[in-house]
Structure 1
Amino acid sequence: MSASVLLLHGWATNHHIFDYVRTKLPSQCNFITPDLPGHGQTALTDTFDPETIAQTLAYKLKEPVHVIGWSLGGLIGQYLAAYFPHLVKSLCLTASNSQFIASEHYEFGAKFASLQKFAQLFEKDYTRHITQFLQLQILAAPAQKPIVAELLPKLTQYGVPVGINNALESLKNNNSQPILAKITCPSLLIYGQKDGLVPVQAGLHLNTHITNSRLLILPRAAHAPFLSHPNEFALALTDFWHNYDYF
């Protein structure tokens, strides 16, 4: 039995970030891999609003899907699951949070100044700095270096994403906390203990507020568990799906 799986990438990357882990997931998966606005091949929009992006994705879906959202993509996945429950069979959030940028009321988001610095570096030399960023995510898993090296040409082929600054400005005050109680689909939360951008506390927070959720913490993973530990990530997700007889 085949099933559609929607993959939502993170800030400053594109859909190719999932190329390798896709090979580890069940062969019955029919992958849907959009680029977010201003990233990859998708044009820049006036504002980068997660709720609006979720609505746009929902209108394009032809059937219910399993959603996998990484980092910023996970934030959009939360809106999709909350407002379009008939279209989301299950939700997997990895290295994601309910508020992308930290504030005085939410400390688990990324610091705005740090993200601005990333944006400046990416605009200066995207290939160099996205390479360095991804290499940091696999420090505890050096065997994955060839995989990252294989992904990089596809990740960088479009140049620096034109929407990175637009997204940061739009996300300053975005907070999905009010909608978390609306998420009722089975949800798997996968986080890296060594993540320096989205701490495991963000996963604990979501686990507390998303009713039907379970939390998995990978001790040696950082901000991209599906890159540093693709086998563990895929096994956990596949077992999760099997528990609900999705495959």
Structure 2
Amino acid sequence: MPHSAKKIYLIHGWAANRHVFDDFIPRLPHDWDIHAPNLPGHGDAPLDEPFDIAAVADRYAAQIGEPAHILGWSLGGLVALYLAARHPEKVKSLCLTASFAKFTAAPDYPEGLSNSALAKMVGAFQQDYAKHIKQFLQLQLLNTQNADTVLHKVLPDLIRHGVPQALQSALDAVNRADARPFLAQIRQPVLLVFGQKDAITPPRMGEYLRRHLSDSRLHLMEKAAHAPFLSHAGEFADVYQTFVEAV
């Protein structure tokens, strides 16, 4: 199958927008057809109603013609899971990075977080989005030699639209969501990429997905945190390209 047939959708995470992929996209084959939409209420995308993960998945499915390879980061990975479960005919493969089936811990789900720091970040982002998103990304890039170059590439466009409108609404949706009941329905090949140093979505969340998605494999990046496609972009792009080419 030639390169040109590869249609890719990159779905960003909470509190960011599509420009978080600006350093990653050029590392992928230039003849791939790559789309990076903004989630509702993020970047310049309006928020018409409270953030609803299933509704976002349905909206993206309506935009996808031929089956596509979907890569989702964090909240974007959750949207990708809903997309694959609700519209399997639109999804050729999934890549979930630093993502989860359920974010919050439950008695039958110790893999989740019982005390997430994200709620505190809402106030910080609302107070000074540019400052705090930069600090957040700097933390993710601690073990990256060219951290300043990466920040210079993604930050100006990332902060251009100011604080995301959907900040609280999308976080509420994350805290309510539970994709566990439909993981067994997902039959597409799944690549799971997690950072060993990720405190927001620890590797155990990836292990859970690996156990419950029938055609999945887990790639752990030793020194990566919550944004491996930024901190270890070259390795991530190589692993992802190999995965997509084999589907």
TM over 0.5: yes
Which residue number corresponds to residue 218 of structure 1?
A: 221
Q: Give yes or no for the alignment of 1:139 onto 2:160.
A: no
Between the aligned partners of 1:136 and 1:153, the Cα distance in structure 2 is: 17
Which residue number corresponds to residue 190 of structure 1?
A: 193
User: In percent, how many aligned pairs have the same letter?
Assistant: 43
Q: Give yes or no for the alignment of 1:116 onto 2:92.
A: no
Among residues 155, 162, 165, which one is paired with 1:162 in the alignment?
165
Which residue number corresponds to residue 178 of structure 2?
A: 175
Between the aligned partners of 2:216 and 2:116, the Cα distance in structure 1 is: 32
* Contact map agreement 1:148 1:227 (CA 8 A) in 2: no
Which residue number corresponds to residue 8 of structure 1?
A: 11
Alignment of 1:123-134 (within 5 A): 123-134=126-137
TM-score (norm. length: structure 2)? 0.94
Q: Which amino acid is 1:172 matched to? A: N
Runs of 4+ in 1 over 4 A off after TM superposition: 110-113
Q: Which amino acid is 1:84 matched to? A: H
Between the aligned partners of 1:176 and 1:60, the Cα distance in structure 2 is: 22
Q: Which runs of 5+ in 1 are unaligned?
A: none
Which residue number corresponds to residue 71 of structure 1?
A: 74
Return 222-231 or 27-36, whichever deviates more: 27-36
Question: How many residue pairs end up in the alignment?
Answer: 244
Between the aligned partners of 1:201 and 1:113, the Cα distance in structure 2 is: 15
Alignment of 1:199-218 (within 5 A): 199-218=202-221
* Contact map agreement 2:53 2:79 (CA 8 A) in 1: yes
TM-score (norm. length: structure 1)? 0.94
Per-residue deviation, residues 127-151 of structure 1 (Å, max 9, x unmatched): 0000000000010113232111221
Q: Give yes or no for the alignment of 1:32 onto 2:35.
A: yes
RMSD: 1.4
Task: Please give the secondary structure, in 2, of the residue aligned with 1:142.
Answer: coil
Q: Which amino acid is 1:83 matched to? A: R
